[in-house]
Chain A
Amino acid sequence: MPMSLSRAGTRLRRLMKTRTSITLAGMSLLFSLLALWICVYLAGADPYEALTAMFRGAFQGRWALRTTLSEWVAITLSGLAVLIPYRAGFFNVGGQGQLEMGGVAAAVVIMHLPAPPPLALAAALTACVLAGALTAGIPLLLRLSRGASEVTTTIMMNFAAMRFMYAMITGPLQDPGAWYGTTPIVPAGYRLPLFPPGSGIPVSLFAAVGLALGAWWLLSRTVFGLHLRAVGGNRAAAAAAGIAVDRVLIKAVLMGAALAGLAGGFQYLGHTLRVAEGWSKTWGLVGIPVALLGGSPLGVLLVGFLFAVLETGSRSMQALTGVPAALVFVFQGLPVLIYLALGAGLRRMGDAVDAK
């Protein structure tokens, strides 16, 4: 066996482990952009014009910028809600439901708690965090006590939560002055401010960036992060090493779900100002590809930004060029598929070179 080949294999593998994941993510995004380009062309529009429209729709003007940044907050937090439990081996597909329940909980507090603004805001933010965590509690319990796959149960929770949200906004929480299904608008004093005032930057953005940095620190700098990785990697080995596997898993899942709930609260208190039909869009679901592509809290922040631009920009692309906005879904899934394929392919190549 020639030595150089074996070394090449090891190098390939190390390359993959350390830095390639970022390169791979970038490559898959580029490939997907190419695919998007082709789709736009198929739809009969000028791709360059479409992409320009997309960027303009995402950034031109204070409103657009504010929307893009708010989406960034929601998508980043939803991404973290997938990423942290994923490290411990729990695939939280339920971010959407956790986010919606967070919004509903915050709305209940704002509508029914007779408290001055700072207190009510604090209570609403606490409520949405708790609601998010509680929503993940059921799938978590079923996983621990019944071995039920969380992929199924969290999705069931998504549907149940969406129905529950609709029951609330067309029932007890319905705004008596509105013609459609919605909660009353958040009163002026109770909204999350912009910072600096009048800038178009929601204050929740600073919180989201701070939380992403915190998550990065937690995952890569603490014993808990180490345990998380151990539990996600090999449960039995982790247990044998004396790690309380269940407790680590529970913490990770509740932490993630709380972030999804917080995303709902942030959006309700600072951006949408109502919990209404379709208010939450697909933020929670977008968190999944964002977490898979991002790979780390900082990566989530980065990819989350790109996906937020796509979300807001795609509407303007549709309006100005007629390209169906449904293409966004292709762009959310395709890079992940390419990323996974490239990653697995590279790993295989490394193995093959090794084997020779």
Chain B
Amino acid sequence: MSKKHPGMRRVLAGLSVLLVMTLVAGCPRPAAQPAPGAEKDPVQAAVIFSIVNPARAGGWDRADWAGILALREEFGWTVTVAEGVPYGQVAATAAGFAEAGYDIVIFPDAGMTDAWHEVSPKYPKTWFVMMSMAERLPDSPRVAAWSPDLYAYGQMLGVAAAKSSRTGTIGLLGGVPVPVIAYLFSGAVEAARFVRPDIRVVTNFVGDWVDVTAHREITALQVREGADVVFALTGPGILGSYEAAKAGGARIIGHAWDLHEDAPDAILTSMILDKPRMYRDLARQFEGGMLEKKTVHVGVEYFKLADFRGAVPQATVDAIDQLVTRLRAGELPIPRVVHSIDDLLKR
């Protein structure tokens, strides 16, 4: 066979070379040890993102980035960032960090719940922390979750949007129609109706997180339907929404972080999810040796509205502030109804 097929032999030779390379590279190496006598090693943390370039993202990840900066600058931690990791590869990435001797692995995204549950029991020496909605903790001693109540987040947002709209129509724009967004939007719809019964809410989904032209078109449609305030919960595609808002004289409410600097003339305000505070909580508890297996329920005290910077009259800002204060105090009896995506889409 090999006589007639020199090509085949070469392929096999090549394969075996590659396999040898695999074995050589695959041998576990000792992780770099710090020089003995060093006073105190910085804490080594790793954060895994499913998107690329979280520092510039238009969604949750942007707030996580601010949290990472807090860990680095205020606590002197060494934070490694893995980005653009597909959900299917999160487990392998997290395990890689654990094996490399990292102290803490942080998942900023509820889509990583599977990986969290799968990996953490295998590496009981490493902390695995979920910084997003979590219903139950994995079966491992060193796991914790800071789980935000995104329904309440949606409520605060709904109050702001309904009150700052002049036309009486607000838009809710989601990237992909996933349950977490439906949950958050439900809070927004109910709160908006509660503070302004005549409000009209138009909801749309773009179909992905990145396509800027699609974002522009669909935001423009919401503006045409009369929405002058649009809350956009999406990814890099939000740049298209800014363009549509500018062209149609509407304003965008940013999500998770103050996005004012991205488009000063298109942003009304931003709903802030104080992820840096969640990261600081984690850092303090870890350094104080008080971090334990638990779920921290992150509530309204972690949510706030960014400065309106004069985008609406001061009277409106005051009215919103007042309502938000009452919301925080639990004085607004907004019904807690969760709508399905199909219901949200109906006009």
CB <8 Å contact, A325 and B7: no
Task: Given A56-B25, A181-B176, A302-B11, verify A315-B95 contact (CB < 8 Å).
Answer: no
Q: Name the residue of chain B whose CB is nearest to the CB of A326.
A: B52
Query: Which residues between 1 and 29 of chain B lie within 8 Å of chain A, taking CB atoms?
Result: 6-8, 10-12, 14-15, 18, 22, 25-26, 28-29
The verdict on A324 contacting chain B, using a C-beta distance below 8 Å, is yes
Does A115 count as interface, using CB distance less than 8 angstroms?
Answer: no
Chain A residue at minimum C-beta to C-beta distance from B46: A319
Which residues of B131-188 have CB atoms within 8 Å of chain A's CB atoms? Answer: 132-133, 135, 176-180, 183
Residue of A nearest to B28 (CB): A60
Q: Which of B7, B22, B25, B84 contacts A315 (CB 8 A)?
A: B84
A219 CA to B111 CA in the complex, in Å? Answer: 43
The answer, yes or no, to whether A57 is at the interface (CB within 8 Å) is yes
**A55-B25, A277-B111, A320-B80 given as contacts; is B7 within 8 A of A18 (CB)?**
yes
Whether a CB of chain A sits under 8 angstroms from the CB of B249 is: no
- Say if the beta carbon of B76 comes within 8 Å of chain A: no
CB of A312 within 8 Å of the partner chain: yes
**Total inter-chain residue pairs, C-beta < 8 Å:** 141
B26 touches A60 (CB 8 A): yes
A178 sits at the interface (CB 8 A): yes
Q: Mark B213-255, 1 if CB is under 8 A from A, else 0.
A: 0000000000000000000000000000000000000000000
Contacts of B52 in A (CB 8 A): 324-326
Residue among A60, A180, A271, A301 making CB contact with B29, cutoff 8 Å: A60
- The closest CB in chain B to the CB of A56 belongs to B25
Interface of B is mostly: helix
Decide: B11 and A58 in contact? CB cutoff 8 A: no
**Contact yes or no, B178 A315, CB < 8 A:** no
Residue of A nearest to B115 (CB): A63
* Contacting pair B11 A299 (CB below 8 A): yes
Chain B min CB distance to A56 (Å): 7
- State the CA gap A58–B22 with chains docked (Å): 9
Report how far A178 CA is from B111 CA in the complex, Å.
8
Flag if A67 contacts B82 (CB, 8 Å). Answer: no
Cβ-closest chain B residue relative to A298? B11
Residues of A close to B18: CB separation below 8 A: 302, 305-306
Q: Which residues of B are found within 8 Å of A61, using beta-carbon distances?
A: 28, 95-96, 99
Whether B15 and A64, one on each chain, are in contact in the complex, defined by CB atoms closer than 8 angstroms, is: no
Chain B proximity of A156: nearest CB distance (Å): 16
Which residue from chain B places its CB closest to the CB of A272 in the assembled complex?
B88
User: Is the CB–CB distance between A22 and B14 below 8 Å?
Assistant: yes
On whether the beta carbons of A166 and B25 are closer than 8 Å, the reply is no
* CB of B98 to closest CB in A, whole Å: 9
Which residues of A (302-352) have their CB < 8 Å from a CB of B?
Answer: 302, 305-306, 312, 315-316, 318-320, 324-326
What are the residues of chain A within 8 A of B135 when measuring CB–CB?
177
A220 — nearest CB in chain B belongs to which residue?
B5
- Do the beta carbons of B176 and A63 come within 8 Å of each other? no
Residues of B within 8 A of A315 (CB): 82, 84-85, 89, 93
A87 at the interface (CB under 8 A from B): no
Question: Does B42 touch A at the CB level, under 8 Å?
Answer: no
Contact of A302 among B14, B26, B87, B341 (CB under 8 A): B14
* A134 / chain B contacts, CB cutoff of 8 Å: none
Q: Do A170 and B6 touch (CB < 8 A)?
A: no
List the A side residues contacting B8 at CB < 8 Å. Answer: 298
Contact with A170, one of B14, B82, B178 (Cβ below 8 angstroms): B178
What separation, in Å, do the CA atoms of A177 and B96 have in the docked complex? 27
Q: Determine if B86 is an interface residue (Cβ-Cβ < 8 Å).
A: yes
B92 CB within 8 Å of chain A: yes
Q: Which residues of A contact B81 (CB under 8 A)?
A: 319
Q: How far is the CA of A182 from the CA of B52 in the complex (A)?
A: 21
* Closest partner residue, chain A, to B119 (CB atom): A63
Q: Are B96 and A180 in contact (CB under 8 A)?
A: no
Q: Is the CB of B177 within 8 A of A64?
A: no
Contact assessment for B25 and A58 in the assembled complex, using a CB-CB cutoff below 8 Å: yes
CB of B269 within 8 A of chain A? no
B26 — which chain A residues lie within 8 A by C-beta? 59-60, 65
**Which of B6, B84, B110 sits near A18, CB closer than 8 Å?**
B6
Using Cβ atoms and an 8 Å threshold, which residues of chain B touch A185? 114
- Is the C-beta of B91 less than 8 angstroms from some C-beta in chain A? yes
- In whole angstroms, how far apart are the Cα atoms of A267 and B83 in the complex? 22
Is B203 positioned at the interface, with any CB of A under 8 Å from its CB? no
What residues of chain B lie closer than 8 Å to A60, measured between beta carbons? 25-26, 28-29, 96, 99
- B207 / chain A contacts, CB cutoff of 8 Å: 163, 166
Is B126 in contact with chain A by the CB < 8 A criterion? no
- Inter-chain contacts of A356 with B (CB < 8 A): none
B-chain residues with CB within 8 Å of residue A324 when the two chains form the complex: 52
Question: How many angstroms from the CA of A276 to the CA of B91 in the assembled complex?
Answer: 15
Q: Closest CB of chain B to A4's CB: distance in Å?
A: 25
5 residue pairs bridging A and B, Cβ less than 8 Å apart: A19-B6, A278-B50, A302-B11, A312-B89, A319-B83
Interface residues of B (CB under 8 A from A): 6-8, 10-12, 14-15, 18, 22, 25-26, 28-29, 46, 50, 52, 80-89, 91-93, 95-96, 99, 110-111, 113-114, 119, 132-133, 135, 176-180, 183, 207, 341
Task: Please give me the 6 A-B residue pairs with the lowest Cβ-Cβ distance, nearest first.
Answer: A319-B82, A63-B95, A59-B26, A179-B180, A180-B111, A272-B88
Extra contacts, 9 of them, besides A59-B22, A298-B15 (Cβ < 8 A), are A181-B176, A181-B179, A276-B111, A277-B111, A277-B176, A315-B85, A316-B82, A319-B82, A325-B84
